[in-house]
Amino acid sequence: MAVEKLFKDEATEEKGERARMASFIGAMAIADLVKTTLGPKGMDKILQSTGRGRSVTVTNDGATILKSLHIDNPAAKVLVDISKVQDDEVGDGTTSVVVLAGELLREAEKLVNAKIHPMTIISGYRVAAECARNALLEKVVDNKQDAEKFKSDLMKIAMTTLSSKILSQDKEHFAKLAVDAVMRLKGSTNLEAIQIIKKPGGSLKDSFLDEGFILDKKIGIGQPKRIENAKILVANTAMDTDKVKIYGARVRVDSMSKVAEIEGAEKEKMREKVQKIIAHGINCFVNRQLIYNFPEELFADAGVLAIEHADFDGIERLALVTGGEIASTFDNPESVKLGQCKLIEEIMIGEDKLIHFSGCEMGQACTIVLRGASSHVLDEAERSLHDALCVLSQTVNDSRVLFGGGWPEMVMAKAVDELARKTPGKKSHAIEAFSRALLAIPTIIADNAGLDSAELVSQLRAEHHEEGSAAGIDVISGSVGDMAELGISEAFKVKQAVLLSATEAAEMILRVDEIITCAPRRREDRM
């Protein structure tokens, strides 16, 4: 007896061939979508939101593009996820990961059509990925011991990362900013200490790195505009209680003078609080919440600079930078750790006034001020710079470096190809397919630059048959160039993450043989 129907009315299921087809096609479509943003000559995408503001983002960062898409295809979602993880983990290579996974699936589709079982393909891919990783490990360069060389490595990596972004025109300038900022961190990967402030106006070239900390606030009225050897108390407390404001509270009084008494009492309370704060021996008070005019007057009389409404990022970072702690009670001054810095002054950037703290406790902090024509340019510049900072901070810890420009892919493809020739059985087809997928990356880099990719990749292959070749695609001159001379380098960690994430994602999608979409839940009529 046959079961008529297993699922609810609107649930759908696709089995076997069709399910695999759907997941392959979805994943490849996503890969083709971001493919054009790969490489130094990659194009940007405009993302327009359907929300109220109709906000527009112009970007070529793979993760940003994929994050903003609303996708229905389950396999495509897996690719979106790996690009997100790549972005959180190493910061760069978000596009490469998706493109490589897409290519692996494209090759797998051909093999599945040739009646090779998906599990065979998967085990072939596993072996190939391991082999590719070992090939890279043999070729890595590590200059951790030599500070000069290491710094130039970092510069090259930063310039390579930035060359595919909007900052590619002034990449030397920005690479220098990024390297300086990361060198200050002294090996920590906590990018919180690097603050990026975006101010429209000027051109990208006017961006600069400031070794202090810049708070995007104005100094209050009648307060000192410049303080040397500042002692800073960073707080998160309410400074607006000099008025009665208990909502819905009623105070019945029989004369106006009683109201004045109540107000006087409130003022006294506030005055006491301010005195407690000043008793810490500070000359700068930064608060996350409002400071009303009355306490502000009191601070001004005491010669203390009071800054109100410093947003949460601001005070967290300020506390980190000046070595203070965020306080909210002021009864025992000895247990509160104050922040210190040499000088606080007001500076102008564009037409805005900002407060600049210099000579801070923790030398790790710095602020990068980005200038640019419009907010879109600045947003994209910030994303690009963030990618570079992520990669650099990872490289400082894991200092292994590779050449870039399609060189690592050629090295891996060569090793994987040799492995395929030695491997008996159907698995060898899968291993060969893996090497073809790796070659797709240099191919796409060349295609995006409008070069003859077939010609270039075959030239590269011939070059790589000699041991120790450093040949890669030189997009600028449109030929095969020496990556060592051109100074195109990439971090090993990024490449490894790309390789492993892409293989695992492709594996996961290959394992699928049935897609079941659940029926939407009905709302009961609530009558």
Among this protein's residues, is 120 annotated catalytic?
no
Active-site annotation holder among 57, 61, 210, 216: 61
Angle at 246 between CA 240 and CA 251, to 5 degrees: 120
- In whole numbers, what is the pLDDT of the chain averaged over residues? 84
CA distance 388 to 365: 17
- pLDDT tens by residue, 379-428: 888 888 888 888 888 888 888 888 888 898 999 999 999 999 999 989 99
Residue with tokens 């389950």: 74
pLDDT of residue 226: 82
Contact (CB, 8 A) for 211 and 303: no
pLDDT of residue 187: 67
Cα 42 off chain centre by: 19
Nearest in space to 495 (alpha carbons), one of 147, 141, 167, 149: 141
pLDDT of residue 72: 84
In angstroms and rounded to an integer, the radius of gyration of the C-alpha atoms of the chain is 30
Residue with tokens 């993302």: 47
Active-site annotation holder among 37, 59, 64, 95: 95
**Runs of H (alpha helix) within 44-170:** 62-67, 74-89, 94-113, 118-139, 147-162
Q: Phi and psi (nearest 5°) for 269?
A: -60, -45
> Which tokens go with 260?
């004045």
- pLDDT tens by residue, 115-159: 999 999 999 999 999 999 999 999 888 877 888 888 888 888 888
Among this protein's residues, is 387 annotated catalytic?
yes
Among this protein's residues, is 95 annotated catalytic?
yes
> Which tokens go with 136?
């890279």
Active-site annotation holder among 387, 417, 447, 474: 387
Share of the chain above pLDDT 70, in %: 94
Contact (CB, 8 A) for 110 and 121: no
Among this protein's residues, is 32 annotated catalytic?
no
CA distance 514 to 500: 25
Question: How are strands ordered across the β-sheet holding 208-210?
Answer: 194-200, 366-372, 208-210
Active-site annotation holder among 59, 94, 322, 503: 94
Cα-based distances in Å from 472 to 173, 459, 461: 24, 10, 10
Question: Going by C-beta distance under 8 Å and a sequence separation of 6 or more, which residues neighbour residue 66?
Answer: 30, 34, 79, 80, 83, 84, 94, 98
